[in-house]
Chains A and B, each alone.
Chain A
């Protein structure tokens, strides 16, 4: 049981990263970003190219991966999101679906449809803590989650701009009265979504075993569930919602190890949570 908890938490941290990206974009620009997972797939491919093909170090590969997802996100924000400020949110949401398909097509064209394997960042026997075995991949996931989580916490709670982003998430209109530039907040959220997707992607790809074009888009449903469970008004909630969903999934997998049960079980639990507490676990009632 404890083993399942650790496994669930380390996968959940990755869900948390995706959920945070999803939630950040949703709260500052009111758009569901269908391309959130695909930022991760793209990053995994770039890292694979650097590490396996070009034989650069893992760290270089990860940096290149993050840079490429960041670039894609910023270009999309500048060319599409910014121009659709006044358009219906459903139209913009479909534009993000278009971006997901574009990245999918790109991956298919450049790397082909067959699965690739990204080696884990560290090898070794792993750790044994209090009788639980933690594999290196899971350790990296937990560490990366902690670092990214801390980074955003400091940003949001300790810097002027981070505070402005947090406030924008709550009320995108009235923050402008204090001089907060809307365009920069929008660019930041998308950039952050790209980075979060990339970090999540390069870490989860080795854990998955193999990845292929469109692979991480399937995390969308879980990330959305996590963001909603955490609470639509709380960014930390989105992150911890991810952890919760990961743990829940691992537990369900242990109790009822049949294909499909964990995925659906998580969604059912999420629906129940939303029916009982529509503002999410960490959210605040309006």
Chain B
């Protein structure tokens, strides 16, 4: 996807390309009088500002997966803020734009707070409510916006040089669009963009990589608000007179259309959709009133034919040209996990007195149904510990409590002697606890390489601002992360699939990617949730060998929840049997498995005894 295409253009723009990107807008703007005429230049300006707003919504919806049906209000906030800054406060041109961006960002941040609690339809309603409040109330308050009459916004001037002419202003707009594009591009190629993708795909998984979901969701709103505010601040002077109706519900709907028809999460597609639906109908003016009719038919046709939008259609076409269907079956042999042997000292702790992980008297229930009811467990450094038990015994719930996805009702969890019972999942990842999931915990829509980069989220120590500017430090950190990822990929035999989306891989390969992503972050304790699920018996035997290697050669400690008993017997130093949320038996595998109560638990309790 994003990263993949970016790398094909070369790691970064060369100086020549940069010069072109900077001068192209002004050249285009200069050429506009000959090509377009004044009216069309103005119309093109409108289209460009819509494209900028759509890029902002794409950041929020396409990257971070947060639905907004009130996007026009963010743009409006930018327009009014900039307008007030320039007309009422008399600030010069760029200051107004900065004001628009800042206020837009802050307001969006505020709207983002409910998004932490609600999602889907409810988030949509919350954003609609916000937008309606803006449109029918705030934008109509005379002191702010000139009331019903509207707020006149004069054309800006730069260094005493007026940009009143449409052509000059067009150059400015095009320049801003290019700037926004570059910022967006930098973002998606950094840990920030990847964290947003991860949140969009699977919040639990993102947290297990150490991504602070709350913080990045708010960041997405903040950045989208800044982008939208900037778009609005440049839109205002085009209007000349800002009125509340320019930022109504139907305008929000239009932004939504641009993003989805373009292809959510693909800035190229969104730009193409903006050109197709926002720029061309305005500039061409050839359809003589039929443009809206033709446009809406084209819109329905496009989305019905390509539900993935323009970008989806493009990617599909390229994939079809390249090769046929992805392989469906085949758990090929698992290669050896000779993964990152980064500084062994990191995990070899001096043999402590306490267990690495201690769980005592853990309780958790789902709406009255007790899943875990007083479970105890200990894992010592360098052990492989298995948890087995019949279906519904509470094994996965236990694992979710240990990894921090669930907060237990009662009981205590300690890691390295420190209590972590209520520590959020992403901080546990920072402490060195990583996990896998029953359905492979991979980001299916991202490439294999991107998955390995997301997994190293915590290793990328640069700030969001640095990411936006793509400083030399960001570039060198990214290069390092990529190198480590490629090393891991080569070790797993997946180097040639680096650019492919993970969902195109076979089930066994996805497991491998998941495990590799966990290992690349050099964790202390690895939690495995049914690692052999969906594997053939042969593949699960191979898996057993790899797990033992992980312990012996890399010194990892593993806690494995597993149904496949032969695997457990083969790899575990110690086994805990769970039944009805409690510890039924625990000890060395051989001894535990001789316990008749364990067989009974598997065969269906008391009735099994009677019948057996």
A residues with CB within 8 A of B: 32, 34, 79-80, 83-84, 87-88, 90-95, 97-102, 104-106, 108-109, 214, 217-218, 220-221, 224-225, 228, 232, 259-261, 263-264, 267-268, 270-271, 274-275, 278
Which parts of B237-284 form the interface with A (CB within 8 Å)?
249-250, 253, 256-257, 260-261, 264
Which residue of chain B lies nearest to A109 when distances are taken between CB atoms in the complex?
B293
Collect the chain A residues with CB atoms within 8 Å of residue B303's CB.
91-92, 94-95, 98
Contact between B308 and A267, CB atoms less than 8 A apart? no
What is the count of residue pairs linking A and B with beta-carbon distances less than 8 angstroms? 115
Interchain CB contact (< 8 A) of A108 among B67, B114, B121, B292: B292
Contact between A274 and B132, CB atoms less than 8 A apart? no
Which residue of chain B lies nearest to A76 when distances are taken between CB atoms in the complex?
B300
Collect the chain A residues with CB atoms within 8 Å of residue B295's CB.
101, 105
* 14 A-B pairs whose Cβ atoms sit less than 8 Å apart in the complex: A34-B253, A80-B304, A92-B307, A94-B256, A94-B303, A99-B300, A101-B292, A101-B295, A104-B292, A224-B124, A228-B121, A263-B132, A264-B133, A264-B136
Interchain CB contact (< 8 A) of B128 among A91, A95, A217, A224: A224
Q: How far is the CB of A230 from chain B (nearest CB, A)?
A: 13
Given contacts A91-B303, A97-B256, A274-B118, contact A263 B136 (CB under 8 A): yes
Collect the chain A residues with CB atoms within 8 Å of residue B133's CB.
260, 264, 267-268
Residue B96 CB within 8 A of the other chain: no
Q: How far is the CB of A33 from chain B (nearest CB, A)?
A: 12
Collect the chain B residues with CB atoms within 8 Å of residue A104's CB.
292, 296
Contact between B140 and A259, CB atoms less than 8 A apart? yes
Contact between B122 and A274, CB atoms less than 8 A apart? yes
Which parts of B386-416 form the interface with A (CB within 8 Å)?
none
Which parts of B108-143 form the interface with A (CB within 8 Å)?
114, 117-118, 121-122, 124-126, 128-129, 132-133, 136-137, 140
Collect the chain A residues with CB atoms within 8 Å of residue B140's CB.
259-260
Q: How far is the CB of B311 from chain A (nearest CB, A)?
A: 12
Contact between B129 and A217, CB atoms less than 8 A apart? no
C-alpha gap A261/B140 in the complex (Å): 11
Contact between B309 and A91, CB atoms less than 8 A apart? yes
Which residue of chain B lies nearest to A101 when distances are taken between CB atoms in the complex?
B296
Interchain CB contact (< 8 A) of B125 among A84, A97, A225, A263: A225
Collect the chain A residues with CB atoms within 8 Å of residue B129's CB.
264, 267-268, 270-271
Collect the chain B residues with CB atoms within 8 Å of residue A98's CB.
257, 296, 299-300, 303
Q: How far is the CB of B391 from chain A (nearest CB, A)?
A: 22
Which residue of chain B lies nearest to A274 when distances are taken between CB atoms in the complex?
B122
Contact between B260 and A94, CB atoms less than 8 A apart? yes
Residue B297 CB within 8 A of the other chain: yes
Chain B interface size, as a band, is 35 or more
Which parts of B424-444 form the interface with A (CB within 8 Å)?
none
Q: How far is the CB of A227 from chain B (nearest CB, A)?
A: 9
Residue B161 CB within 8 A of the other chain: no
C-alpha gap A109/B296 in the complex (Å): 13
Collect the chain B residues with CB atoms within 8 Å of residue A225's CB.
125
Contact between A105 and B292, CB atoms less than 8 A apart? yes
C-alpha gap A224/B124 in the complex (Å): 10
Contact between A228 and B250, CB atoms less than 8 A apart? no
Which residue of chain A lies nearest to B130 when distances are taken between CB atoms in the complex?
A267
The interface bits of chain B over 460-498 (1 if a CB of A lies within 8 angstroms of the residue's CB, else 0) are 000000000000000000000000000000000000000
Residue B611 CB within 8 A of the other chain: no
Given contacts A97-B253, A232-B121, contact A221 B300 (CB under 8 A): no
Which residue of chain A lies nearest to B126 when distances are taken between CB atoms in the complex?
A271
C-alpha gap A109/B293 in the complex (Å): 8
Contact between A228 and B122, CB atoms less than 8 A apart? yes
C-alpha gap A87/B303 in the complex (Å): 10
C-alpha gap A268/B137 in the complex (Å): 13
Contact between A264 and B292, CB atoms less than 8 A apart? no
Collect the chain B residues with CB atoms within 8 Å of residue A95's CB.
299-300, 303-304
Which residue of chain A lies nearest to B131 when distances are taken between CB atoms in the complex?
A221
Residue B289 CB within 8 A of the other chain: yes
Collect the chain B residues with CB atoms within 8 Å of residue A83's CB.
304
Q: How far is the CB of B195 from chain A (nearest CB, A)?
A: 22
C-alpha gap A225/B261 in the complex (Å): 26
Q: How far is the CB of A192 from chain B (nearest CB, A)?
A: 20
Residue B290 CB within 8 A of the other chain: yes
Contact between B137 and A102, CB atoms less than 8 A apart? no
Given contacts A84-B304, A224-B128, A259-B140, contact A90 B264 (CB under 8 A): yes
Which residue of chain B lies nearest to A88 when distances are taken between CB atoms in the complex?
B307
Given contacts A108-B292, A228-B125, A259-B140, contact A267 B304 (CB under 8 A): no
Collect the chain B residues with CB atoms within 8 Å of residue A93's CB.
260
Collect the chain A residues with CB atoms within 8 Å of residue B256's CB.
94, 97
C-alpha gap A264/B118 in the complex (Å): 19
Most buried by B among A217, A225, A261, A274: A274
Contacts A94-B299, A105-B292, A268-B129 given; 10 further ones with Cβ under 8 A? A90-B260, A94-B257, A95-B299, A95-B300, A102-B300, A224-B125, A228-B121, A260-B136, A264-B132, A270-B125
C-alpha gap A221/B133 in the complex (Å): 12
Contact between A221 and B249, CB atoms less than 8 A apart? yes
Collect the chain B residues with CB atoms within 8 Å of residue A274's CB.
118, 122, 125
Interchain CB contact (< 8 A) of B307 among A84, A271, A275: A84
Q: How far is the CB of B527 from chain A (nearest CB, A)?
A: 29
Collect the chain B residues with CB atoms within 8 Å of residue A87's CB.
307
C-alpha gap A259/B148 in the complex (Å): 11
Collect the chain B residues with CB atoms within 8 Å of residue A275's CB.
117-118
Collect the chain A residues with CB atoms within 8 Å of residue B249's CB.
217-218, 220-221
Contact between B260 and A214, CB atoms less than 8 A apart? no
Q: How far is the CB of A116 from chain B (nearest CB, A)?
A: 19
Which 9 A-B residue pairings sit nearest by Cβ, starting from the closest? A87-B307, A260-B136, A267-B129, A91-B307, A102-B296, A105-B292, A98-B300, A101-B296, A98-B299
C-alpha gap A270/B122 in the complex (Å): 10
Collect the chain B residues with CB atoms within 8 Å of residue A267's CB.
125, 128-129, 132-133
